[in-house]
Amino acid sequence: MTTAEYNLCVDEFSDSVYRFILKNIRDVDKAKDIVQDSFMKLWEKAKDVNYEKARSYLFTTAYHTLIDNIRKEKKQVSIEKVHYNYLSNGKNY
């Protein structure tokens, strides 16, 4: 894929990929980050990805990035929850 074809992909597909991710995650900022990550991954693989397959590549990459993001968030515990659990067990600092 050439630079011109990549730029064309950005123009043609960024809005639809964004709407697809936003529909699933319902968080504007996270959706923007996922779309940006997906286009960054496309740029890194531009020489390996055929322009005709770029749309499919973007949607697949965005979907997998979304899933990874959700899994990562499930593993993270907020400090407030840890603090609450610690205090509710009768522990003091």
Per-residue 3-state assignment (H helix, E strand, C coil) for the chain: CCHHHHHHHHHHHHHHHHHHHHHHHCCHHHHHHHHHHHHHHHHHCCCCCCHHHHHHHHHHHHHHHHHHHHHHHHHCCCHHHHHHHHHHCCCCC
Share of the chain above pLDDT 90, in %: 73
Q: What is the pLDDT of residue 80?
A: 65
Average pLDDT on 67-87 reads 74
Q: Which domains does the chain have, with CATH numbers?
A: 3-88 (1.10.1740.10)
Higher pLDDT, 55 or 90: 55
Interval 21-72: pLDDT, tens: 999 998 999 999 999 999 999 999 999 999 999 999 999 999 999 999 988 8
